[in-house]
Amino acid sequence: MLEILRGNLVSAPRLGALDVAERGYLVLEDGVIRGVFDKLPAQYAVAPVTDYGDALILQSFADMHLHAPQYPMLGMGMDLPLLDWLNTYAFPTEAQFADPDYARVVYRALAEDLIANGTTRVCMFSSLHTEATWVLMEELERSGVTGYVGKVNMDRNGAPGSLQESTDESVRETIRWLEGCRFDRVKPILTPRFTPSCSDELMAALGRLAAERGLYVQSHLSENVREMEWVRQLHPDCRRYWETYDKFGLWKDHTVMAHCVHSDEVERRAMHRAGVAAVHCPASNVNICSGVCPVRRMLREGVWVTLGSDIAGGDQLPMYQVITAAIRASKDRHIMDNGSTEFLTVEEAYYLGTTSGHRYFGAGEGFAAGDRLHAIVVDDSNFPRSGRPLSVTERFERALYLMGAKNIVAVWSDGRCVVKKR
Ligand code: GUN
Ligand code: FE
């Protein structure tokens, strides 16, 4: 079925570039983009039009790193650095997800919060609990959020008795979880929590599973200086953190590594070479005092950089706020470096929060023909009066900084309209 969406279309085809179609047309056929046009081609004249008037039609967002079972502690407990923060706040919060009924309530609210804020693709950590992880996948699918979810593996340095598995149990439960994943739009990804949480034996078993079943892998990398020192003690044979994943076959194309704040040039080259996606989580990095990631430099070196909310180290779930946080973090870096490093532009940060993440799921650039539509419609009519007419590009910038869920009047995910307020 043909269908046409009309509005002010803004997409990011490349890093730093914007495609703008003012009062343009997006042609869909069965949820698949046929093209974006300034003037409607005659062949589509008979198709029904959904006219969003003067609203902005933007790409939806891809949140490439977040912890679902930390949603209950959102906005709290950010007074400790990473390793103490994990033991004091994160592990006890995650332990509660042994109860699938509790998981149902929390995960339904999380899924609704994500979709209402225009996040339609995720790469997400669950907890180590198999049942709760299925519940999470079900709730995401129900709300229209698509992507990858991982049952977390952790067989050491967790919270023994409440949040830690034996090695055997971790492998067995991972296989049971994989066999029970029968979802259309939410797929499993292997998720060793981070090197300090996983024995060599467990890492090796996950590496074999990844190879045998063609699964992707997600984890954390070089987030915090004390963490890195700990990893060096655990793996004296590895010169750098990334090698502890590589050793077990977990460092490969489409491996997702959160943070990479303190990755040096050699580690960044290893990412580039392997096709590893780095997830920059600007709010989390400041909240738990990890550092300020040299994100502009990583981009210059050709690293595949995406963005993540990393809740609940991050305090903001909406990706438009993560995008503006990334711009601010890069300016902090610029100031600290006495102006010798560049900061991210709005166009660049939008690209990182949209196209760069969507690419992980096989999508093309911007609103690419042949892709299933992932988009949001933003009504900015209640923003402050500007005193002069604004261009679509100016309105786009202001929307990223000022919008909230209430401004998002429609969400399209995987070619379907999943939120419709008008
Ligand atoms: N490293 C290992 N686990 C975690 C986590 O839950 N959050 C963050 N930010 N870093 C981690
Ligand atoms: Fe994280």
| Domain CATH for 87 | 3.20.20.140
Q: What is the pLDDT of residue 87?
A: 98
Residue of 97, 123, 223 with the most ligand 1 atoms within 8 Å of its CB, for mutation: 223
Contacts of 318 (CB under 8 A, 6+ apart): 117, 118, 119, 309, 404, 405
Q: Which of 310, 334, 353 is the last residue of a domain?
A: 353
Residue of 88, 94, 194, 245 with the most ligand 1 atoms within 8 Å of its CB, for mutation: 194
Are both 266 and 346 inside the same structural domain?
yes
Degrees, nearest 5: CA angle 235-239-244: 45
Instruction: Give the chain's residues under pLDDT 50.
Output: none
Are both 73 and 156 inside the same structural domain?
yes
Are both 23 and 69 inside the same structural domain?
no
Domain that holds residue 408: 2-60+364-420
The number of the ligand nearest the C-alpha atom of 218 reads: 2
Give the distance, in angstroms, between the CA of residue 142 and the centroid of all CA atoms in the same chain: 19
Cα–Cα distances in angstroms (integers) from residue 123 to residues 1, 22, 57, 58, 185, in the given order:
31, 32, 24, 21, 12
Q: What is the pLDDT of residue 343?
A: 97
Q: What confidence tens digit (pLDDT) does each residue in 260-317 have?
A: 999 999 999 999 999 999 999 999 999 999 999 999 999 999 999 999 999 999 999 9
Residue of 67, 244, 260 with the most ligand 1 atoms within 8 Å of its CB, for mutation: 67
Q: What is the pLDDT of residue 422?
A: 78
Report which of 66, 144, 68 is spatially closest to residue 103, judged by C-alpha positions: 68
| 3-state SS assignment for residue 57 | strand
Are both 120 and 244 inside the same structural domain?
yes
Are both 374 and 345 inside the same structural domain?
no
Are both 182 and 326 inside the same structural domain?
yes
Are both 121 and 238 inside the same structural domain?
yes
Classify residue 358: in a domain, yes or no. no
Q: Which residues form the pocket of ligand 1, taking CB atoms under 6 Å from any ligand atom?
A: 67, 82, 86, 90, 193-194, 220, 223, 284, 310, 313
Contacts of 100 (CB under 8 A, 6+ apart): 129, 131, 132, 135
Minimum CA distance residue for ligand 1 atom 8 = 313
Minimum CA distance residue for ligand 1 atom 7 = 313
The number of the ligand nearest the C-alpha atom of 258 reads: 2
Q: What is the pLDDT of residue 318?
A: 99
Q: What confidence tens digit (pLDDT) does each residue in 13-72 have?
A: 999 999 999 999 999 999 999 999 999 999 999 999 999 999 999 999 999 999 999 999
Q: What is the DSSP-derived secondary structure letter of residue 88?
A: I
Exposure string of 71-81, with b = 16+ CB inside 10 Å and e = fewer, is bbbbeebbeee
Query: Whole-prediction pTM value?
Result: 0.98
Number of domains the chain is built from: 2
Are both 279 and 415 inside the same structural domain?
no
The number of the ligand nearest the C-alpha atom of 256 reads: 2
Classify residue 280: in a domain, yes or no. yes
Q: What is the pLDDT of residue 205?
A: 98
Is there a contact between 279 and 311 (Cβ–Cβ < 8 Å)?
Answer: no
Are both 165 and 284 inside the same structural domain?
yes
Instruction: List, in sequence order, the alpha helices (H) in 71-199.
Output: 82-85, 91-95, 100-116, 130-143, 167-179
> Position of tokens 């008037």?
53
- Atom number in ligand 1 closest to CA 313: 9
Classify residue 403: in a domain, yes or no. yes
